[in-house]
């Protein structure tokens, strides 16, 4: 059976304290050139978005797909393909920016993934990632970025509730996966395949998480 554990020896556990985390878990701030592929998993209310928001706030050149349109602030908010393109043209040469896409329609969602695919040196955050993939299909530009974006400095970090609903391409390319508590047998089996200890994940306290893999992104601790 195929395994996705190839480069994933490291375990790291996070605390819930997001406010007092000046240094995070890493020695330096990641740059977009680090090309990270990651997943933040957990059931509704487990703290995925809060964690992703923290990471995004400590990441340069962030583009965020705020799927529900209410989870992110502190950046330029765009709501259409045209305004996304126009804003991107203005900032793409800058060292730091944060673009928040609140998609009113599928065109804007597709424009987000097309922009990520066609760009270099950026960190894409995808909220409710399981809306854009299932265990057997995936938004095409997203799939391309997961498979080949490394060569173009594209990082993709997704938040999702159900690991079992995530496309194998994402897991196969993941540098790290963060899991919050779950009791769901299918999800625990999926996490186990990736190198998590199901007993540990089952016992995680609220807002605590376990990470398998490695990342240069800054994490709260
Ligand atoms: N580390 C934390 N400590 C305390 N409260 C938290 C923490 N993380 C999230 N929360 C709170 O829990 C609620 C759900 O968090 P959220 O990040 O939206 O979860 P999810 O995205 O997994 O549904 C929010 O009200 C949030 O403020
Ligand atoms: Mg959320």
Which ligand is nearest the CA of 47, by number? 1
Residue 155 resides in a domain: yes
Query: Residue 27: CB within 6 Å of ligand 1?
Result: no
The predicted structure's pLDDT at residue 34: 77
Residue 143 resides in a domain: yes
Residue 1 resides in a domain: no
Between the CA of 144 and the centroid of ligand 1 the distance, in Å, is 31
Average pLDDT per consecutive 10 residues, the chain (221 residues; last block may be shorter): 41 54 39 83 97 96 97 95 97 96 98 97 97 96 97 96 93 96 95 96 97 95 79
Residue 3 resides in a domain: no
Residue 220 resides in a domain: no
The predicted structure's pLDDT at residue 221: 79
- Nearest in space to 144 (alpha carbons), one of 119, 177, 125, 179: 119
- Whether residue 142 contacts residue 5, with contact meaning beta carbons closer than 8 Å, is answered with no
Which CATH number goes with the domain that contains 168?
3.40.50.300
Between the CA of 42 and the centroid of ligand 2 the distance, in Å, is 9
The number of domains in the chain is 1
Residue 173 resides in a domain: yes
Tell me the whole-structure pTM to 2 decimals. 0.89
Residue 15 resides in a domain: yes
Query: Residue 76: CB within 6 Å of ligand 1?
Result: no
Between the CA of 45 and the centroid of ligand 1 the distance, in Å, is 6
Domain that holds residue 159: 11-213
Residue 2 resides in a domain: no
Q: What angle do CA 209, 210, 216 make, to 5 degrees?
A: 100
């Amino acid at each position: 059976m195929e395994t996705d554990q190839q480069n994933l020896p490291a375990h790291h556990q996070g605390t819930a304290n997001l406010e007092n985390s000046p240094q995070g878990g890493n020695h330096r701030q990641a740059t977009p050139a680090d090309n990270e592929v990651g997943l933040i998993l957990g059931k509704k209310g487990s703290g995925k978005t809060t964690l992703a928001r923290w990471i995004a706030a400590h990441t340069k050149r962030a583009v965020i797909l705020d799927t529900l349109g209410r989870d992110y602030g502190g950046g330029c908010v765009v709501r259409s393909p045209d305004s996304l393109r126009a804003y991107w043209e203005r900032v793409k040469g800058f060292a730091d920016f944060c673009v928040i896409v609140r998609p009113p329609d599928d065109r804007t969602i597709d424009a987000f993934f097309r922009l990520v695919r066609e760009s270099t040196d950026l960190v894409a955050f995808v909220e409710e990632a399981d809306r854009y993939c299932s265990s057997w299909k995936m938004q095409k530009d997203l799939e391309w970025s997961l498979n080949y974006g490394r060569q173009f400095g594209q990082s993709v970090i997704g938040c999702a509730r159900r690991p079992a609903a995530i496309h194998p391409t994402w897991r196969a390319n993941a540098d790290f996966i963060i899991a919050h508590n779950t009791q769901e047998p299918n999800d625990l089996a999926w996490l186990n395949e990736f190198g998590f200890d199901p007993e540990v994940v089952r016992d995680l306290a609220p807002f605590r998480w376990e990470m398998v893999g490695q990342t240069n992104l800054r994490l709260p601790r």
